[in-house]
A and B are shown apart, each in its own frame.
Chain A
Amino acid sequence: MSAISLVPIGNVSEDLLTRLAKRIGEIFRVPVFLQALHFDPSMMFDSYRNQYDSTMFLSLLVKNSEETEGKILGVTEYDLFVPVLTFVFGEAQLSGKAAVVSSFRLRPEYYGLPVDEILLESRFEKEAIHELGHTFGLIHCNNASCVMHSSTYAEDIDLKSNSLCSSCLVQLASGDLVTAKSPP
């Protein structure tokens, strides 16, 4: 895979994106670019749930980036959901092209806690790496400190590191990964 493109959707800090791009580049050892794509987020909005459909998000990302080589990570502050779940921190096409990650439920203030930008950025970085890991074919890892460990609570994210464990690194390097592609 030649590169990773970060696509901000909505109001995402450029500083944050720059730092995120640097860390992602270190992990996956590929060039990381910031890319602007123009599409209307309201298309993904579900007024009944007051949330944004992340699966639709992925489809739009892929549709609007046909010219783009490599992987694409949508980065947003919108609250994401998939129809059967109450929310998701992010979603990815397993062994596919696109992933999306949201900061909405990563913010400590969402849970009634004081604002903590450092904690938010740490969580955001881990979830971004996690979802991109899925696009490279990595599945959830049993190692609790690996960034590919499944997290269903924001506090779960704090328990794991922002790195791949040796087992996931070996799989990533050797290409011994899940190849089945989920339908978009």
Chain B
Amino acid sequence: MNKPDIGILIVDDEFSVRDSLSRWFKEDGYRVAAAENAAEALKKMQEQPWDITLVDIKMPGMSGLELQRRIKEIDKNIVVIIITAYASVESAVQALKEGAYDYVTKPVDPDDLSHLIQNAIKQRALAAENILLRTKIEELSKTGEFIGESPQMKKVMELVRTVAQTDATVMIRGESGTGKELVARAIHNNSNRRYFPLIPVNCGSIPEGLLESELFGHEKGAFTGAQYRRKGKFEMANGGTIFFDEIGNLDMKLQVDLLRVIEAKQFTRLGGEQVISVDFRVICATNKNLEKVVEEGTFREDLYYRLNVFSIFLPPLRERRSDLPLLAQHFLQQYSLSMSKNITAISPEALDLLIRYDWPGNVRELQNAIERAMVVGKPPCIRVEDLPFQLNSRPKLPEADSLAEVEKEHIINILDRTSWNITRAAEILKIDRVTLYNKIEKYGLRK
């Protein structure tokens, strides 16, 4: 900060103090103003921002202590320095307890005052930097937000917002590629733990023998090759969130360990004796039918109940086809930027194909399809021939056998495509609206 950018407000009922301090700071090049009482000071606070304020503790009317509270209500990051006479040091100490940066006793040594102001400026700059960094973190944490207007996704977003404010353990269910990690990140980023790390652990991709060391860390010499002490994922997640992906793949021994750590929030590193206390939130995800694996005896029932406190189900993409145009456009813009390619649209035929396809790999498959189309496609738009599944494979058709089931699935698809616009859906189906309503009722369909 340059000195002319730093504003110092002096509040003292004694003219000589205001005057001498004003001169002193002006000679240093600061922007300076003085107020003879609390009312004038608060008026100046409303007029323009100040970085540092020097407040006399004893003034007629509102005291310096009360003024400090009011000033902090206007700008909680302002640096308040209390000016006091020897007799009122007790009040100054009270002011410090309430957030004053420091206090000076009149008369103050010029060198002490000079250093105090320099340190206060550093404090103010740090606070400003802190705000800037928090804003940046919040901006970063916004990346990867959900795309979707369908009722199913609106419900998911509402659940995320609700559970984020709590410390409850969350179980995210859904097919592969539906965005379970994205939901875990959204919960973390909207929680009070967002300034601490989110540590993902993929229970399916780490070899069994290594997972224990990955989770708990190890001491030097704990096993062959353990040359250094290493922190585990639980320690790294301290203050934040630990996200267990593919929790259904965790082996039985680690299920016991995990249950113990989740309940006690304490553990020891491999080869160590020191008990380490940690504070973390657990989010887990699975594409397995956990109830079935519990029944089969490969997943502990007690752990299942401990993890399944708050459940969020992510619908497969084929059940929210109305979100497809939005998602496709989102990925198109993303790759257009990263590949510096001027493809800005999807042809109506290609979009129709995207909507009709069943997407067994869900959003991840759609993302890959758009990426591939961006690589092979030419400006200005993605065409049918750019898509990876149109040449050798037809879009998947309903697997139902009976005519009624085929009709039901087809109506669902068209309703999803039109975001339940009955008139438009009836036009596509080439039936009247009343017939469509009757069929919706017959098949028990709901938005």
Residues on A lying within 8 angstroms of B by beta carbon are 49, 55, 81-88, 91-94, 134, 139-140, 150, 152-153, 178, 180, 182-183
Contacts and interface: CB of A to CB of B under 8 A. Distances in A.
B21 A84 contact: yes
Nearest to B114: A152
B108 interface: yes
Contact of A55 (B3, B16, B106): B16
A83 B110 contact: no
A83 B107 contact: yes
Contacts of B16: 55, 82-84
B110 A85 contact: yes
B301 to A, nearest CB: 70
A139 B29 contact: yes
Nearest to B14: A83
A91 B28 CA distance: 13
Contact of A86 (B17, B19, B21, B110): B110
B28 A139 contact: yes
B139 interface: no
B3 to A, nearest CB: 8
Given A55-B16, A55-B19, A85 B113 contact: yes
Nearest to A152: B111
Nearest to B17: A84
Dominant SS among interface residues on chain A = loop
A178 B17 contact: no
A178 B4 CA distance: 11
7 contacts: A82-B24, A83-B107, A84-B20, A91-B23, A139-B26, A140-B29, A153-B111
Interface size class of B (residues with CB under 8 A): 20 to 34
Given A55-B19, A152-B114, A84 B26 contact: no
Contacts of A94: 23, 26-27
B19 A182 contact: yes
Interface in B93-138: 106-111, 113-114
A48 B275 CA distance: 63
Nearest to A130: B27
A93 B21 CA distance: 13
B26 A85 contact: no
Contacts of A93: 23
A84 B23 contact: no
B110 A140 contact: no
B109 to A, nearest CB: 5
Given A82-B16, A84-B83, A150 B114 contact: yes
Interface in B1-52: 3, 14, 16-17, 19-24, 26-29
Contacts of B113: 85
Nearest to A89: B110
Given A55-B16, A55-B20, A86 B108 contact: yes
Contact of B108 (A85, A140, A183): A85
A128 B133 CA distance: 46
A134 B19 CA distance: 16
Nearest to B28: A140
A178 B29 CA distance: 9
A182 B19 CA distance: 8
A83 B26 contact: no
A87 B112 CA distance: 12
Nearest to B23: A182
B40 to A, nearest CB: 15
Contact of B26 (A88, A152, A182): A182
Contacts of B17: 83-84
Contacts of B21: 84
Contacts of A139: 3, 26-29
